[in-house]
A and B are shown apart, each in its own frame.
Chain A
Amino acid sequence: MPIVHNGAVTSCVFFAVSGNSYSAGTFISSTVGVPALTHSFCKQNNPAVQTMDPSEVEFLAEKEMVKIIPNFSLDKIYLIGGDLGPFNPGLPVDVPVWLALNLKQRQKCRIVPPEWMDVEKLEEIRELERKEDAFTPVPSPYYMELTKLLLNHASDNIPKADEIRTLVKDIWDTRIAKLRLSADSFISQQEAHAKLDNLTLMEINTTRTFLLDSLNCMYKLRSNLQPGSNKGKALDY
């Protein structure tokens, strides 16, 4: 089963199967914050079940808080996830993104862009990302989803929206390129484990299927190279 994390996923640990041992499957785990729920998902035959849909990741991203300026007034509301409000016209208040977008579409508020959604800051982050070989800390654990949601629905409240979109895409492209490079060297050097810090859930989700499928294939190929081994056919992990 894929591991669903409650907080930010900031590092991944990969375990590869070496030629002989076939008990440990490959799995991804988090080592930060939330107790790592590492379950191996060997015995699953269908790799597709092991991924998350990007829309599910976006759903999780909508829980992030963002500042809005409402134009209506409402007392404090008590929801299962927490308390929100009170809302007074003209006074900024923190709400989850899902509520902010709904209010914006009903023309009941104005969205204030998050602090990191600024051209200079993003340019700095982009330069840093291009210089470093490892992954740099991200402005927000859901930076890609928030950019997409806020720029699609509230681009009239965000100054220089087009430049921000380009900058965030640049940062994303650089990070994905690094991820691919790292996965490539991991496989070709047949490493046993790797540790990557500062990855976001969306980036992990993007590589998840490909990486796991390719590690499975490698395992099958490697185990078939040794004729007469104890198991008759290769097991999918």
Chain B
Amino acid sequence: MFVTDIRKEFYDVVVNQRVALLISSDIDALCACKILQALFHCDQVQYTLVPVTGWQDLGTAFLEHKEQFHYFVLVNCGANVDLLEMLQPDEDSVFFICDTHRPVDVINVYNDTQIKLLIKQDDDLGVPSYDDIFRDEDEEDGDDSGNESDLGSEPSGKRRRFDEILFDYEQYEYHGTSAAMMLFELAWVLSKDTKDMLWWAIIGLTDQWVHDKITHMKYVTDIATMQRHVSRHNHRNEDEENSLSIDCMRISFEYDLRLTLYQHWSLYESICNSCYTSCNFKLWSLNGQKKLQEFLADMGLPLKQVRQKFNCMDISIKENLRDVIEESSNKYGMKDIRIQTFGVHFGFKNRFLASDVVHAAAALLESTEKDESASDTFIKALDCLSRSNLERLHLGIDLAKKKLIAIQQTVASCICTNLILSQGPFLYCYLMEGTPDVKLFSKPMALTLLCKYLLKAFVHSTRNKRCKLLPLIMAAPMDVEKGTVIVAGIPPESETSDKKNFFGRAFEKAAESTSSRTLHDHFDTSIIELKTEDRTKFLDALITLLS
């Protein structure tokens, strides 16, 4: 059931108990975790933090802890499956789920006792009403696999309608309001919100935008909400005479450039490696390089300055940089080079934009060092979000730079060697094993980022009008010893895309029909693991399914 008063029904319940926190491996979940940890520290609530990477992990973690804990908080996992059926908990276990995955499973919505959803009842949930799905007690609850009963025609007609409703409801997968923002609202209601928590909520929201999980409209609306909180915090402490210490954290609204990490890199590198500029200029081609030189010349920026570290650039250039770049980029067809975001500023040296921190934390979370387990990387990524761990954040930024360069090079090579094939209802690309940096792309977030950039680049480079509207499926080697590949599917690229992804169900059906050996372990159902040998028959099944 949905929780209406998050303070009474969630916080006041757990504040005197021991709680197990099961946190998924994405940046929004990490930020939500930090906020919750800070609240728990204030009230000295005992908790255990368990990072989980997939459904199997969740199951094992639950089995390990079910004896000692009655209250479980799940962040960014668990809303989109029938949790009680999967975990088989005892009667007195209560689950608080704060998850961005939609659609929320109907069983979770209509369970009154054990499942509490910390989710806002927005308009975009569209949960079918109780009577539409659930029948009398002697019939099974409807689920989307459909019942194969052979009752009389009237009940089976009704059941078909229920199945249809459920099928429509669960067909597309998308994301809702950031979990970090939900927990920040809890902190706000408790009047315990600090600037640190506000910053984490902003990072959670920016993570959803960077990894393309929410629509542009929703991003802008949520930014406006955060902006209200930011102005409230800024007016609280500062006035003309009593200025705040320089070490205090200042968050400011920025209408900043869409160049990834440009303040920690050189401007030139950032332009070359940001998806937006690289796709618009088509920097994988010689023509594109020339256009870039023209662009820089048009703005009057000397090459020597532009290739320097951003902090060492001339002050006179840095002053009006944003306006100058916006003007010039309008001439080259890039109308949205600026995006609304937030930046933080503390101490004399430390300025970061929210997207910088997202990229750094994502690089740390998915770093492919040999002797680091999933929990090590999780803890490192969690640490880099604190203000006191700046070296870790800088290390993350360096890793993110390498990751971005790798992505751009892979995109360039895929486009130039025409590795993207149109299979009819979708585009398909397979990364061979020997590709440089292919290990980076065995991780889900990095692979989705690569998919997104590749699709954008493809849309800009192809002349085939029909291909521009196709979704993309990408496969990359995941585990060489076990012989598996990771397969990810993303919806088609468009200006007004609603980011709804149907590949989850499609993958399931294709795997069933060909009995391929797949593992649907990831919380995003559009990312699966597949045995390399079954790749071709799986793809053929998909093609027939989606045609």
Q: Give the interface of A toward B (CB within 8 A).
A: 71, 106-108, 151, 155-156, 158-162
- Are A107 and B194 touching (Cβ within 8 A)? yes
A-contact 0/1 string along B194-211, CB 8 Å cutoff: 100000000000000000
Q: Which residues of B from 233 to 278 have beta carbons under 8 Å from A? A: 237, 241-248
Given that A156-B237, A160-B243 are known contacts, is A108 also in contact with B248, CB under 8 Å in the complex?
no
Given that A106-B41, A106-B43, A108-B42 are known contacts, is A156 also in contact with B192, CB under 8 Å in the complex?
no
- Are A155 and B41 touching (Cβ within 8 A)? no
A158's nearest neighbour on chain B, judged by CB, is B245
- Are B42 and A107 touching (Cβ within 8 A)? yes
- Are A151 and B41 touching (Cβ within 8 A)? no
Q: Classify the interface of chain A: helix, strand, loop or mixed.
A: loop
Cα distance A107–B245 in the bound complex, in angstroms: 19
**Which residues in B have their C-beta under 8 angstroms from that of A160?**
242-243
Closest Cβ of chain A: how far from B40's Cβ, in Å?
Answer: 11
Cα distance A107–B39 in the bound complex, in angstroms: 10
- Are A151 and B192 touching (Cβ within 8 A)? no
Cα distance A155–B44 in the bound complex, in angstroms: 24
- Are B248 and A155 touching (Cβ within 8 A)? yes
Closest Cβ of chain A: how far from B347's Cβ, in Å?
Answer: 11
- Are B192 and A161 touching (Cβ within 8 A)? no
**Which residues in B have their C-beta under 8 angstroms from that of A108?**
42
Other 15 A-B pairs with CB < 8 A, given A106-B41, A107-B42, A159-B242: A71-B191, A106-B42, A106-B43, A106-B44, A107-B192, A108-B42, A155-B244, A155-B245, A155-B248, A156-B248, A159-B241, A160-B242, A160-B243, A161-B244, A162-B245
A-contact 0/1 string along B207-247, CB 8 Å cutoff: 00000000000000000000000000000010001111111
- Are A155 and B247 touching (Cβ within 8 A)? yes
**Which residues in B have their C-beta under 8 angstroms from that of A155?**
244-245, 247-248
- Are B244 and A156 touching (Cβ within 8 A)? yes
B239's nearest neighbour on chain A, judged by CB, is A159
The 3 closest A-B pairs by CB, nearest first: A159-B242, A161-B245, A155-B245
The residue in B42, B43, B244 that gathers the most chain A C-beta atoms within 10 A of its C-beta is B244
**Which residues in B have their C-beta under 8 angstroms from that of A161?**
244-245
Cα distance A30–B390 in the bound complex, in angstroms: 45
B238's nearest neighbour on chain A, judged by CB, is A156
**Which residues in B have their C-beta under 8 angstroms from that of A106?**
41-44
B248's nearest neighbour on chain A, judged by CB, is A156
**Which residues in A have their C-beta under 8 angstroms from that of B191?**
71
**Which residues in A have their C-beta under 8 angstroms from that of B192?**
107
27 contacts between A and B (CB under 8 A): A71-B191, A106-B41, A106-B42, A106-B43, A106-B44, A107-B42, A107-B192, A107-B194, A108-B42, A151-B245, A155-B244, A155-B245, A155-B247, A155-B248, A156-B237, A156-B244, A156-B245, A156-B248, A158-B245, A159-B241, A159-B242, A160-B242, A160-B243, A161-B244, A161-B245, A162-B245, A162-B246
B191's nearest neighbour on chain A, judged by CB, is A71
Closest Cβ of chain A: how far from B290's Cβ, in Å?
Answer: 50
Cα distance A151–B241 in the bound complex, in angstroms: 18
**Which residues in A have their C-beta under 8 angstroms from that of B248?**
155-156
**Which residues in B have their C-beta under 8 angstroms from that of A156?**
237, 244-245, 248
Q: Which residues of B from 160 to 197 have beta carbons under 8 Å from A? A: 191-192, 194
**Which residues in A have their C-beta under 8 angstroms from that of B41?**
106
Closest Cβ of chain A: how far from B242's Cβ, in Å?
Answer: 4
Q: Which residues of B from 15 to 58 have beta carbons under 8 Å from A? A: 41-44
A159's nearest neighbour on chain B, judged by CB, is B242
Closest Cβ of chain A: how far from B350's Cβ, in Å?
Answer: 16
